[in-house]
Chain A
Amino acid sequence: MRRFVIGQAKNLIDQTRRRRPQPHHHNNLRLLSLLRPSASDSTTVSSPRLFSSSSSDMPGSDSSSSSSIPVTLDSINPKVLKCEYAVRGEIVSIAQRLQDDLKTNKDAYPFDEIIYCNIGNPQSLGQQPITFFREVLALCSHTALLDESATHGLFSSDSIDRAWKILDQIPGKATGAYSHSQGIKGLRDAIAAGIEARDGFPADPNDIFMTDGASPGVHMMMQLLISSEKDGILCPIPQYPLYSASIALHGGSLVPYYLDEASGWGLEISELKKQLEDAKSKGITVRALAVINPGNPTGQVLSEENQRDIVDFCKKEGLVLLADEVYQENVYVPDKKFHSFKKVARSMGYGEKDISLVSFQSISKGYYGECGKRGGYMEVTGFTSDVREQIYKVASVNLCSNISGQILASLVMSPPKPGDDSYDSYIAEKEGILSSLATRAKTLEEALNKLDGVTCNRAEGAMYLFPCINLPQKAIAAAEAAKTAPDAFYCKRLLNATGIVVVPGSGFRQVPGTWHFRCTILPQEDKIPAIVNRLTEFHKSFMDEFRD
């Protein structure tokens, strides 16, 4: 769309010097696949806990068993009941109902559209995908295109080259086949090279496990770490509810550490120590520390010095460091830079034997924002081989992550380089998105800080603002009367008055007695002024209504 005319002209020129696709690429598919391994396997097992073979460890009879209906609320797994995921909770359900009703009942509302600021889903709010990435994916989705001469007029030359390169790395060029359960080896090579280029320290493709988004990777690690409620995971508060939800689903204990709002959501080692000791005194074995950098929902970017302290803390306490680094490309302020925990640990001289570290990355965030693809990876270092085999086994039960997500994960870690046909347009698209996000973050932050009783730290990174609202006592009392958390009360009123969907701070947890909401910075730039106006107007009338 955006760059077709230029693209086509370029392609015509390039066509003469382009590597012609070789005919064998398609003729020997079958032969190749017979010669190469189909790395993932859906097979073999011996029985798990077969009751007949292990009856001795079974507890006594449950007399009520035969009469219970299997899947009612009373009889489903209580861990399922316990977990919560507010990003898609009650307020979002209300918003969806409003949206449906708006179609037929437009005059009943003081707004004409619902603006979803509840979730980091950029492309649903109009962000365009990076053209080069999608060209490569389209070619890999329908490989017959590579044999069509007209394709050269429709696609950039480096996207065609890249598609060939990727297909050559897939056994049998079969993008419709299950891959190795860790992901296609050639794509992991590209990711490892990307990590190496980013950090300046080596990365091993065998350490990489590709996943359907970052979330399944987090689940996998929780599954490994948590055996019972005696196992604790240190999580930041406020936190992204994936952590609380997956800890609840696996039956573990969330051990909170509070970020200091007054110092820009700072992470104090003394706080970590205090909470660790506190958990120990309750009989909880703390097994890992989750750090989200840049922060979600809090948007802070950790300083390198702070990261070094965190690494030392984990090393000293024998904790696995779970580094959620999915917003690594989303940094908006010149005084902060993203540093991966692996780079920090390695630059401190700590190697495999010193610290167990898992770094999560996703294609859903960054400037690419490809949420619907469900692609991501985790890089696991500092694990013994028997533990890694267990991770591999758990990954293999789900066979593999989706192939187009895998391809895209390799692309974001090895984007076009200077001199490539797509390089200029790629850079223009990327910079355009990132600088616009920075502008939006700044505009929204300033607007929020102007509101009566609202303070908001700047979004140094990630995709969110997390303002603190100093709610009047009357509003708190009204919320209690309505049996909702005060911040949820505020957010529902905001939704009903403006159509803006945000997530109450209680969904992320917060210091007791403080109230927040999370708002993404993702609505398109031209919508921001209207959002600011509506928000300002609503807040004023809300405060007028409830002022003490």
Chain B
Amino acid sequence: MSLKALDYESLNENVKNCQYAVRGELYLRASELQKEGKKIIFTNVGNPHALGQKPLTFPRQVVALCQAPFLLDNPNVGMIFPADAIARAKHYLSLTSGGLGAYSDSRGLPGVRKEVAEFIQRRDGYPSDPELIFLTDGASKGVMQILNCIIRNQKDGILVPVPQYPLYSATISLLGGTLVPYYLEETDNWGLDVNNLRQSVAQARSQGITVRAMVIINPGNPTGQCLSEANLREILKFCCDERLVLLGDEVYQQNIYQDERPFISSKKVLMDMGAPLSKEVQLISFHTVSKGYWGECGQRGGYFEMTNIPPRTVEEIYKVASIALSPNVSAQIFMGLMVSPPKPGDISYDQFVRESKGILESLRRRARIMTDGFNSCKNVVCNFTEGAMYSFPQIKLPPKAIQAAKQAGKVPDVFYCLKLLEATGISTVPGSGFGQKEGVFHLRTTILPAEEEMPEIMESFKKFNDEFMSQYGDNFGYSRM
């Protein structure tokens, strides 16, 4: 008999081509070592609660009450829940038709979308229309929905930064489109040079690719840079000239660790630029409850906002969303809470501010400890983590190390990261997983390990690295500090 339907050979090639090396060599080895009893420090995923970050109290109280609405009728509920959490739970339940157990509108609860629109308006100073905001099960789902609408076949290209977050490459592969890379300038603090973009587009077009959209990740993942307003203007102008949809991955907008370049949304910059651009550039911005000081990854909550997308296209996006019925309702409530946190005067306000500030300030200190730590190492240079949750140091591997990696049949940065893992238990992701220029090597770590463990982690990293560099080096090494 011929091949069976799910024999490997007969699987959809797009699935096989998709790369999402979640169980890449590093992760597998780390899991093995852990099973053998070695202490592993997982710095490979932006998953804050898994590394001990406590959830914010107020949103968890509100959602617990929504999970068990019968508590609201119990006279003793005030013994374990503050009044503002009770009031807020009642508010959100009133926005649903049947509590957390009923499908909502496929675009998300209208009341929550309204709160999101009000948040965007407060943030940007420009009106936002709840009808153009769709809630999603995490930002990833939104990205997939939008790319699904854009990509028709492999002649459709999407501009993606390199290094990039692999969601983009994986989804583009699954949908059978073409990834058109543009390189971020490491020496310019991972800056985005519009001339590079032009070149990438021209080259893609010469090969028959219709470039249709451009992805920016701001603040950057894995690169941690924050785009300047001037840079965003250039990008928007470029998208207008080239008729590209701009997909603005802005999930790290709360994670800013310097004061020179605060987060500024693509939407605000676009509106600031005024007509005709503000009426022409098609923009879709993504946000999530998984990042920021919330870090509620397990909830799978997010939204996207559409700007300048024609109504009939919005209808089509709605239709596709409706096939999945609705995003999960408790995460929709998390999203509502994220965009309308307790206000001054609320019972829970002080606690909320204390908790969220505590997390953010600690992340800021950790970003500094980590970047400085890397820069004190031999043959390692690292741009400061201005935002997001990652450091992406460049490891200048000596020729002997590259040689040794080849002999071991490994990509050089994989070789380095494996040795690091074996020596220290620090589980990182090699830069080759994100894409990097040829001949340069990186690794990505999160800045999420607990602050008090950070000095020790960096010390053990330095010890490993400097020994590695001595073992393989020609004594020409240097360090930035």
Contact = CB atoms under 8 A, between A and B. Distances in A.
Given A71-B309, A150-B80, A80 B45 contact: no
B15, B169, B309, B444, most chain A CB atoms within 10 A = B15
Interface stretch (A30-38, A262-270, A297-305): A30-38
A45 B323 contact: no
Nearest to A137: B67
A287 B69 CA distance: 46
B206 to A, nearest CB: 7
The 10 closest A-B pairs by CB, nearest first: A44-B433, A45-B166, A30-B52, A48-B173, A372-B329, A138-B68, A142-B64, A287-B5, A65-B210, A123-B101
Contact of B298 (A41, A55, A176, A398): A176
Interface in B276-323: 282, 290, 295-300, 309-310, 312-313, 316, 319-320, 322-323
B51 A397 contact: no
A122 B71 CA distance: 21
A59 B102 contact: no
A373 to B, nearest CB: 6
A119 interface: yes
B320 A371 contact: no
Nearest to B311: A73
A85 B323 contact: yes
Interface stretch (A101-109, A383-391, A504-512): A383-391
A49 B299 contact: no
B437 interface: no
Contact of B444 (A43, A85, A318): A43
Given A34-B39, A51-B157, A397 B329 contact: no
Interface in A150-198: 150-151, 153-155, 171-172, 174-179, 181
Given A65-B211, A80-B316, A384-B7, A373 B173 contact: no
Contacts of A400: 298, 300
Given A41-B45, A371-B103, A29 B96 contact: no
Contacts of B97: 124
A212 B210 contact: no
Nearest to B17: A48
B353 interface: no
Contacts of B342: none
Given A48-B169, A77-B151, A370-B101, A43 B299 contact: no
Nearest to A57: B154
Interface residues of B, number: 148
A4 interface: yes
Given A34-B39, A43-B433, A61-B208, A73 B312 contact: yes
B148 interface: yes
Contact of A134 (B67, B152, B157): B67
A34 B204 contact: no
B71 A154 contact: yes
Nearest to B37: A35
Contacts of A37: 30-31, 34, 40, 42
B140 A71 contact: no
Nearest to A148: B80
Given A66-B243, A148-B80, A399-B140, A76 B150 contact: yes
Nearest to A31: B52
Given A30-B450, A38-B51, A224-B11, A371 B101 contact: yes
Given A373-B101, A383-B6, A47 B15 contact: no
A41 B22 contact: yes
Contacts of B99: 123, 129, 372
Nearest to B104: A372
A127 B63 CA distance: 20
Contact of B138 (A141, A287, A373, A398): A398
Nearest to A389: B23
Given A41-B23, A43-B44, A137-B67, 12 more contacts: A43-B27, A43-B429, A47-B169, A59-B155, A65-B205, A148-B79, A174-B50, A176-B55, A176-B298, A318-B4, A356-B4, A373-B100
Contacts of A137: 67-68
A123 B57 CA distance: 28
Interface of B: 1-8, 10-24, 26-27, 30-31, 34, 39-42, 44-52, 54-55, 57, 60-61, 63-65, 67-71, 73-74, 76-77, 79-80, 96-104, 106, 137-138, 140-141, 144, 148-152, 154-155, 157, 162, 165-167, 169-174, 177-181, 203-213, 242-245, 282, 290, 295-300, 309-310, 312-313, 316, 319-320, 322-331, 429-430, 432-435, 444, 449-450, 453
A227 B22 contact: no
Given A48-B17, A85-B323, A402-B331, A319 B51 contact: no
A49 B41 CA distance: 33
Interface stretch (A241-249, A337-345, A535-543): A241-249
A481 interface: no
A44 B26 contact: yes
30 contacts: A29-B52, A37-B34, A37-B42, A44-B20, A44-B24, A44-B433, A46-B432, A49-B154, A49-B172, A51-B180, A58-B178, A59-B154, A65-B210, A72-B310, A72-B313, A85-B323, A88-B325, A121-B98, A174-B50, A176-B298, A178-B50, A178-B298, A212-B324, A225-B12, A227-B11, A372-B103, A373-B100, A374-B326, A393-B20, A394-B18
B11 A387 contact: yes
A36 B30 CA distance: 11
> Secondary structure at chain B's binding surface: helix, strand, loop or mixed?
mixed
Contacts of B137: 212, 374, 398, 402
A43, A179, A401, most chain B CB atoms within 10 A = A43
A126 B99 CA distance: 10
A470 B393 CA distance: 72
A424 to B, nearest CB: 17
Nearest to A212: B137
A510 B23 CA distance: 45
A4 B21 CA distance: 49
A372 B149 contact: no
Contacts of B328: 212, 372-374, 402, 404-405
A528 interface: no
Interface string A457-472: 0000000000000000
B63 A288 contact: no
A23 to B, nearest CB: 16
Contact of B316 (A44, A73, A393): A73
A55 B207 CA distance: 7
B4, B97, B429, most chain A CB atoms within 10 A = B4
Nearest to A131: B70
Nearest to B297: A178
A216 B321 CA distance: 12
Contacts of A78: 152
B80 A48 contact: no
A390 B76 CA distance: 50
A181 B322 CA distance: 24
Contacts of B329: 372-373
Contacts of B320: 80, 83, 249
Contacts of A249: 148, 320, 323
A403 B64 CA distance: 14
A60 B210 CA distance: 11
A333 interface: no
A80 B1 CA distance: 35
A70 B212 contact: yes
Nearest to A142: B64
B67 A144 contact: no
B210 A68 contact: yes
Contact of A177 (B49, B96, B177): B49
